[in-house]
Amino acid sequence: MVSASGTPSLTPTPTAPAENVKKSRGRPKIDPDEEYISPIRVRLQSYKDGDINASPRLPLFLPPSSASSVWNSWTKEDVDLYLTEDHPFNRRGFRYIPCETAPDLPLLMYRQIEVPPYGSRVNYADMSMQVLVDQMSATVVTTDKGYRMARANVCVREGKWFWECRILRGNLSPSDGNVRVGWTRREASLETPVGFDAYGYGIRDVTGQKMHISRGADFMKDGFKTGDVIGLYICLPSISCQLSTIPSNNPTKVSSKLLKSVTNDVVSNVVRDRIPIRYKGQLYFEQFECVPVKEFQDLLNQSSSDDVVARDLKLREQGLPNSSIRVYKNGKYVGTPFESLLPFLPPHSVPLSTLGARVVDDGALGYYPSISVYQGGAAQFNFGPDFDYFPADLSHEASSSVDLHKRVRPMWERYDEQIAEDVVWDIVDEVDIGLNPDDLDSNREMAVDG
């Protein structure tokens, strides 16, 4: 199995080595009686000349075959939009994250890095290859194709969060294209509209219908169009609450000790099975991606009303307690189209087992702000802090005097929080490797079975 770049992927099947980066499977500690699962052990070569202090590289921004720009009435300017190249896109089975050398973490050797603009934005690797994005803010998207999706580089796992979608062009005339907005998980296809499958919840512009598993239902009268701002609020229970709802006999063998010991919302059994590869001279972590499961795929084929009703009841029973999505139009509350959102922690999110992946929480499972655009439709993510229409009914809950875990927070705050979490997990992994000498040879290199 090879990655999108043609380099080897995380798989037990022998492959040719990646350019100047060798790797191999180690001995992951998977005893279900342990309080945590150790990350996969890998053997890495010494750094290549120029790796240390190398500058992170942005994608190459290329103008499309026909000039593409959109008027942004909020910033009073034309925004040029580009295709991106010279970076790997997340594909079925694998996802990619820029990384760099980490001499201060001698056992891990590499750590995740960020590329500009440094903040909540479109994830260059997690959008359709046919999506065009602006170069300055990386928040404006369009396409000249059928429905294509772009996801943000920030996700929510617990708590209350809010972001806005500015409709720059859509639904005024057939030539304006269309836009759908909402929240999706990593399993949701980037070549479909938001709400196409069970992994996303979306709102249509034309009819204002709420969309989930490609079934529409009346929700927003008159829909939305160019000039409108759609506010999207999500509420998810704490990670500790989510872990406590996982059955003790679940197939991922989540540690019973872990379930009993979790008392802090930040604590979870995060395991990032990822390795560095080179792609066109840039280092990236290659990581197992979550994929749709047959049970959810089959939901798309249900046709009779009885089947749909039975499905909806079953999904609501599986849903996260006290979870919901609210929608606002130009600051006015429209309604709560979705409740009892589907859980995302293992065993509810899984990678391709045929690749040798383990079912673990890699810290990036959750719901992502998402926009799908269609044949010229254009929209902009607005993660705050300067919202156009922050809802009045959320203002009190957004006050700094409210406890952090009860506060409604703007999505821009999630960016720094994710970086902090990643730093903590780096330290945990470095210590874990150092405390498990059986996984290391006498030269302090990663030991490999076979």
Domain boundaries, the chain: 60-249+275-423
Mean pLDDT for 355-361 is 85
Q: Which helix (H) or strand (E) holds 88?
A: none
CA distance 346 to 108: 25
CATH number of 60-249+275-423: 2.60.120.920
Question: What's the pLDDT score for residue 354?
Answer: 75
* Residue-wise DSSP of 404-446: TTTSEEETHHHHHHHHHHHHHHHHHHHHHHHT-GGGB-TTSSB
Between the ranges 32-46, 291-305, 365-379, where is the mean pLDDT highest? 365-379
pLDDT band at 12 (very low <50, low <70, confident <90, very high): very low
Question: What's the pLDDT score for residue 256?
Answer: 44
Predicted TM-score (pTM) of this structure: 0.87
pLDDT band at 448 (very low <50, low <70, confident <90, very high): very low
SS3 content of the chain, % helix, strand, coil (to 5): 15, 30, 55
**Contact (CB, 8 A) for 142 and 376:** yes
Q: Among 18-32, 69-83, 256-270, which stretch is predicted with the lowest mean pLDDT?
A: 18-32
CA angle 343, 163, 70 (to 5 degrees): 120
pLDDT at position 447 over 50: no
Question: What's the pLDDT score for residue 115?
Answer: 94
pLDDT band at 33 (very low <50, low <70, confident <90, very high): very low
Nearest alpha carbon to residue 320 among 363, 281, 385, 365: 365
Q: What is the pLDDT of residues 393-436, one digit of tens each?
A: 999 898 888 888 889 999 999 999 999 999 999 998 898 888 87
